[in-house]
Structure 1
Amino acid sequence: MTPATRPPLDKLLASAPFQRSRHAAARVADDAEALSRLLEDVAAHEFGIGQLPDARGGIDIDIACAVVEAHIAALTSGEATGSVADARCRLVIAALHYLVDANDVIPDALPDGHVDDVVVMRWATRVARGEIPAE
């Protein structure tokens, strides 16, 4: 994916599809069952190119899923998390929701339908790692 073919991150994050994903994340952030279903949807999701594998230095879907799995564990054990951790987790949940949303900026059924998903997941991975602030 070259800079010329990569959608700008700021436009993706401001898009109606990503805003829908943020609202969905806010709705399900405290629902362990809904989060587990989201992780199942991520594991089963296919793009126009088939499964989207993690790539070295790439999107690290497993990192995002691990953040959500840790959040599920905290929810089911009754452990409270801090507000920064909650904000990061909600953004990661939103990114995973966006990943499996067929009606995102570039529909997944198209041959390049994964490009916007990769950009959003790379951003979410950096948020999860604490490399950039949770906004």
Structure 2
Amino acid sequence: MEEKKRIFIADDDKAVLDSLKKLLELSGFSVEATGNPKEVLSRIKFFKPDLILLDLLMPQLGGLEICQILNSDKETQGIPIIVISALAGQADIKKAYHLGVVNYITKPYDFQMLLKEINKVISYKEGRPL
């Protein structure tokens, strides 16, 4: 049996975090999540996800800072990051892509569209583009 793909979610909005976690688990993924930005880095290193879903607007340590740290660490720099954010300005989007995110999805979003993007990114990472 194929091992479940692992997704890590970082979002300080508990309602978003809980609903997204449940939907992804029902879709067959193994999911780890936190709303505490100070826990994100250590939990990602422990969980070793195939993909990270990252909110930009979090207290203390923002999503862009987290992207920079993840991409400068040899242990985490190859993990694809999809940003899910309420920030829809071109400057925010450009900055995120400059920091290496693979996609930028604005809230509110359609879960089926997000699921397609997640599957596409994971397939591409494994060398099986859809």
TM-score where L is the length of structure 2: 0.34
Greater relative contact order (Cα 8 A, min sep 6): structure 1 or 2? 1
Higher helix residue share? 1
Higher strand residue share? 2
